[in-house]
Homo-oligomer: A and B are copies of this chain.
Amino acid sequence: MLIDGRHHRTIWVADDGVTVRIIDQTVLPHELRIVDLVDLESAAVAIETMQVRGAPLIGATAAYGVALALREDPSDEGIEAALARLIRTRPTAVNLRWALDDMRRVLANQPRGRRVELAMARAAAICDADVEICRAIGTHGLALIEAVARRKKPGEPVNVLTHCNAGWLATIDRGTATAPVYAAQEKGIPVHVWVDETRPRNQGAALTAFELLHQEVPHTVIADNVGGHLMQHGMVDLCIVGTDRTTRTGDVCNKIGTYLKALAAKDNGVPFYVALPSTTIDWTIEDGIAEVPIEERAAEELTVVSGRTEDGRIERVRITPEGSPAANYAFDVTPARLVSGLITERGVAEASAAGLAALFPPEG
C-alpha cells in the first residue's frame, strides 16, 4: 500500500537482488526508517525487537533470514543453525514455525550451489501467496461493506470499527481486517474507519492510523473505551478485526479488548466480523477460553508509553506511580456466539465447527 504516495510492501528485495529491506515498525508513525537485512543475525534481531510484527510478516522475514544465512553457510548444518536461531526469536508465533518448516522442506536434498537461489525464490513465493490471500479476504469482505452501503444515502460513508493492527503492516500487503476496507476504497465506496488505539502497545494509534492516513482512507482514532458508546448511537455499521488464532469451533483469540467490542456489537445489533487467513485456524482446539493460553507480557508495555515530543525526539514516559504493580495480558478470546462471521480467503464462514468445516473440509 501507499506511504507518501509510493507503493510499498512491508518486506522486499533491493535492486542488488541480495539485500532484504523492511520498514522499522518500532518508530512508526513518527519516522519512516528502512532497515537493511544483510545476514541471519539482522533478520533475527528484526523479529526479536519487533521491527517487524504480525504473523504473516514474521513468517516471511524468517524465510528471508534463512536465505541470507545460506550465503555464508549453505551446508545442512548451516540450514539447521539458521532455523534454530530464527525459531528462538518469537517462540510462540505459529506462522514462524510454519515458514521455517516450509524452508527446510524446500531446501532438503538440494545442491548447495542452488540453495541461496531456491531460498530467495521460496521466500518471495511465501510473500506473494500472502498477498493473494489478503486480496481474497478483501474481496469476500467487500461484499459485506457493499451490503451496508446499499442501505445508506449516496455519499454517506460505511463506518467500520477495527481493533489493533490487522492491516498491511501486519502482513505483506493489504492486510486482513483492512483488506475489505481497501477493496471498498478501490471500488469508490465511501468508508470511514474508527481506529481503536489498542492499549497497551498502541498498534491502532501508531500503525493502523498511519496506514489509513497514507492510503487516504478517512479515519478517526479513538480510545479503546469509546466503541460501546459509538455503537449505542448508531455510529458503527460493522466491526472487522483480525485474529492470532481461531479455534475449529470459531472462538477467536485476538488482541486484548476484542471481546469487549464483540459484546458491545452484540448488545447493539452491530455485525462483528473477523478476517483471517485459514493458516491461523487451530484445528486441535475446541474451547478457546479454556484451552488457549494467554501470553502475559512485560508490565512496562503498559506503564511506559513511547511517543514523539513537541521538538521531535522519541521519548518514553511512565504513566503509573513507581511501586504500583501492573499486569499485561496480551490477548483475549471472543466466543463464537459473538462473531457474525469469519472472513477467510475462501469466503465468509459461520463462526462454528460446521461453518469452518464446510469451507475447509478435512483432508481425507
Contact = CB atoms under 8 A, between A and B. Distances in A.
Interface string A285-300: 0000100001000000
A224 interface: yes
Interface string A115-153: 000000000000000000000000000000000000000
Given A256-B226, A317-B305, A317-B307, A219 B264 contact: no
Contact of A198 (B225, B257, B261): B225
A205 B259 contact: no
A91 interface: no
Given A209-B324, A221-B325, A326-B220, A228 B319 contact: no
A197 B226 CA distance: 14
A331 to B, nearest CB: 8
A150 to B, nearest CB: 27
Contacts of A320: 29, 197, 205-206, 209, 221
B324 A318 contact: no
- The size class of the interface chain A forms with chain B is 35 or more
Contacts of A200: 223
A184 interface: no
Given A223-B302, A226-B332, A263-B267, 9 more contacts: A199-B223, A202-B319, A205-B303, A206-B321, A213-B323, A225-B256, A225-B260, A226-B327, A229-B333
A214 to B, nearest CB: 9
Interface of A: 29-30, 195, 197-200, 202, 205-206, 209-210, 212-213, 219-230, 232-233, 255-257, 259-261, 263-264, 267, 289, 294, 302-310, 315-321, 323-329, 331-333
A224 B222 CA distance: 13
Contact of A219 (B306, B325, B328): B325
B317 A306 contact: yes
Nearest to A229: B332
A302 B228 contact: no
A28 B350 CA distance: 49
Contacts of A256: 223, 225-226, 229
